[in-house]
Amino acid sequence: MAAVALLGLSGWFITGAALAGAAGAGAVATFNYLTPSATIRLFAILRTVSRYLERVAGHEAALAALSRLRPALFRALAKSPPQTALALSAGEASARLVEDVDAIQTLFIRRSAPFALGAGAAVSVGLAALTHPFCAVVIATVMALSVRGGLSIARRHAEPAGRATQTALGRLKDVSSSLAAAVPELRAYGLEAWAEASVAQEADALERARHGVRVAEGQMQAWQSACLAVGTVGALATAVLGGATSPMAALAALVAVTGVEATGGLVQALLQSGSARAALDRLDELPVQDEDVVGRGKPVGARVGVAGLDLDLVPPMRLGLARVSGCGKTSLLERLMRLRPPLPGELRLGGAPVEAADTDMVRDRFAYAAQKVSLLDGSVRQNLALARAEATEAEMWSALEDAVLAARVRESGQGLDMPIGSGGDRLSGGERRRLSLARAYLRPASWLVLDEPTEGLDAATEEQVLRRLDARLRATGQGLIMVSHRAAGLTLCDRVVLVEGQDTSGALRLRLRGGQRELA
């Protein structure tokens, strides 16, 4: 409103002052320049301050919403059914948490666009009516045409291109992250050129989609320019033909300019609506849970039972799973911890079927060091804090000592702040595994679940890790469930289950043995 009034009054004032100056000293002496000049300054200050407040309010709304949305989406992925979470690649999940969330912030920033358009239209038409009623009709008509044309271009061109952009961006991140994770293998087999071509193909698709958005933007700008020209000429002609004075005719022309420009915010929002709507659709595919109902299940006991075996385990008992690779040992553990969909009746926890228990309650019972090690591109401290953010430095050092990694961290000179690189690439394979083991040690849980914890370690290091693991279990009273094909690890276990394969339903054929001596 201040912008429209400022430009209209300025046009009237400058034209009136010019005519007064041309009329001679007498006209100048009688011309009142104090009131309009003061009013112009008032409108200039109002425009500046209100625009600043509008930007602050809009960005505060967007950032506040995004700061709540990203953690909610991350929790949704972490707590969602495994078939949902595992169906998303790392690149696709990243695209939804980053680019898709960024795309919808325009919905908040542009929320005020219709109100700004309404205010601009009211002031423009009102000031034009002071010149001539038909002048107001011309400006209102041109503004309506500007909005109608913008809507048409958005629906036909901008929205499809915006949707294609979000989809192509997700595919590019998916392919890029998958290939980045396999860089050593790609180099070993000489497939760098193929990988580059695969990424380039997805990047080209993204650029084509973005080109469509830019074309739509150009069409909108061209349409607005045409409306601006028609509105300005039409308002000026109507004012002159209606007998308006030159200052009033100038007011009408400039009011037409700002009136059409008032539609710019809404048109810009329409340009970005395709990307925003596509991002919303992609985010809606994630099953966001209501925080008020998460974790309200019945508490789950720590007793573990396995169907078909005379086996009922409670901490501090220790169970080993043995046999050759690929027979389903890891899958059994993941079904027990609800990282995979459990099979009906296969496993029990706290005397109840695992599939009937609350997922959060089930996972709270276990501290897990997986066979596939996943580490953040950060410091040792940050990776350990994933298990328990409030863990003290003393507790972290104790976990590193028990994982036989403390000496390596101390030697770095940076202590717990030692960076480990992307995926832990500054560490050896055995060091990455032991850091994952130390992280599991920090999590307070009834059961410690270890999947091949000594894989890749030399015999001396393996002996140290197992000796400290035994001492830690005695101190904490935790139970142990360990998958291993190495005899040394199974010596810690009270009972050993031999995994002999799977039936057609995916259930494992298990045979219960005694300790390491009977297994041998």
Q: Cα 275 to the chain's mean position, in Å?
A: 15
Q: Residue 366 has which token pair?
A: 């276990």
C-alpha 463/C-alpha 471 separation (Å) is 12
- pLDDT tens digits along 94-115: 888 888 888 887 777 677 788 8
Check whether 291 has a pLDDT greater than 60. Answer: no
C-alpha 420/C-alpha 414 separation (Å) is 11
Question: What average pLDDT does range 421-426 have in this prediction?
Answer: 88
CB of 466 within 8 A of CB of 435? no
pLDDT band at 511 (very low <50, low <70, confident <90, very high): low
pLDDT band at 463 (very low <50, low <70, confident <90, very high): very high
Question: At a CB cut-off of 8 Å and minimum separation 6, what does 73 contact?
Answer: 96, 97, 101, 283, 286, 288
Could you give all domains of the chain from N- to C-terminal order, each with its CATH number? Answer: 2-284 (1.20.1560.10), 304-519 (3.40.50.300)
C-alpha 338/C-alpha 125 separation (Å) is 64
Q: What is the mean pLDDT of the chain?
A: 86
**Residue spans of beta strands (DSSP E) within 243-303:** none
CA distances from 3 to 81, 124, 164, 259, 399 (A): 53, 10, 36, 10, 64
C-alpha 182/C-alpha 363 separation (Å) is 30
Of 126-140, 198-212, 492-506, the range with the lowest mean pLDDT is: 492-506
Check whether 355 has a pLDDT greater than 90. Answer: no
Q: Residue 217 has which token pair?
A: 């933007």
Q: Residue 367 has which token pair?
A: 């501290």
C-alpha 78/C-alpha 359 separation (Å) is 11
Question: What average pLDDT does range 414-437 have in this prediction?
Answer: 93
CA distances from 314 to 114, 489, 515 (A): 63, 20, 17
CB of 479 within 8 A of CB of 316? yes
> 343: helix, coil or strand?
coil
Of 389-403, 467-481, 503-517, the range with the lowest mean pLDDT is: 503-517
C-alpha 275/C-alpha 154 separation (Å) is 11
Please name the residue that has the structure tokens 């994770």.
181
Output DSSP code: residue 416.
Answer: G
Return the pLDDT at 58. Answer: 80
C-alpha 155/C-alpha 131 separation (Å) is 36
Check whether 515 has a pLDDT greater than 70. Answer: no
Plot region of 24 (φ>0 → left; ψ -120 to 50 → alpha; else → beta):
left
- pLDDT tens digits along 310-348: 778 899 999 998 876 667 788 889 989 988 888 888 899
Q: Which amino acid is at 476?
A: T
Residue 437, number of CB atoms within 10 A of its CB: 24
Residue 432, CB half-sphere, CA atoms under 13 Å: how many? 21
Stretch (H or E) spanning 226: helix 192-241
How do strand 347-349 and strand 508-513 relate by DSSP bridges?
Answer: unpaired
- pLDDT tens digits along 149-189: 988 998 888 889 988 988 898 899 889 988 988 888 999 99
C-alpha 387/C-alpha 390 separation (Å) is 9
Check whether 294 has a pLDDT greater than 80. Answer: no
